[in-house]
Structure 1
């Protein structure tokens, strides 16, 4: 299958934009032009992001949405967006604004209206929330914290290798904004879930995900119940939050490609 529709990948917290490299190769082999730009302030090189974390600090959800909106404006046509974790939330916001033709949101961070907050999600994000000052800082994960939040479904050795290969500090502000979303009528985590004219949406969930548990993704699906647009759910029962970068990434990527083909994209 071939498509002229561009695919734009949006990573989540703690992974560098280059972590999409294998996905980009897979999608380009299928005929899609791709890009994977980083978040606001994120250096293009992983080592630079580790050395200059302050450049990424204090960027919230609205900043990230505006950043990607400008990048979309430079594309030849509206893209397919593929987002992981907070990237999945950002992609849903852009889809609700009709900035994309379709979205694949993988283990997407909770949007406004989603109520379940499982204990594993609280533990996974504790490195950020333990200090209120982290709202305006970047926060690093330790190897052990990454293993719990991302690599819990993997052998420890693989999780540790992913940490060394892809992990960068992340801004704390988006997590604070998402945590307060249901108490803020103007929350930046609000998504236009009622838009029936938007493109199709696929929500993917890892059944062993500690950071965005399956219950959160299923609650997100319910938020779209008033929209007549295509909204699908696909579960990978044995996968954790690392599913886009670990040894099983190709299964997830191929599922996304297959779904896009079903949508005529």
Structure 2
């Protein structure tokens, strides 16, 4: 039986596969494995509840079925892990490949938090999101939308809309990007703050402990994952001096 760390890594890998369309992978099978792991978690927490989100959902007066809880937990985990991991990786990639960006961060002209904010504008980890269904006929951007139509939210496209891009709207204090969506169905509070804490801590700790971190390949050799949802690298090969213990 795999240990907790191995099982967690397998869960992460299956989440990634379920969001990608890489040749040789089976997204449906990966999603099924994710569901089976979460079903086991729900079963364990029903038998032995604790101070965790699964137990709280099981005890909630809404009385959700196990299947409803499984689907909700998959959404929560996928929405939290993949975008945050890609946010960290995309920030590191920019630091290792963009001299302006790297110098601004290392020179203190751009804090890590401000650097993370710029990445959300220019290289947001969630490119597109499905979906929203129109509840009535309407028009949006000159397009006719009928009740029941499924809408794909192009978050990356919205952030770089040429109608607003010439205004140089990306700045350290400007957080008006749509990377967390917007309105009543946006990423719920305090999830964006938690993601920011995780990403900022990861990048700051890495820069502190591995100050000589450099890219191990040429920038053009980096490969983006073939996903229409996520914006993330297949891998980020780096070199650094090992930390002495």
Hey, which of these two has a bigger chunk of helix by percent? Answer: 2
Q: Which has the larger radius of gyration?
A: 2
TM-score, length-scaled by structure 2: 0.28
TM-score, length-scaled by structure 1: 0.27
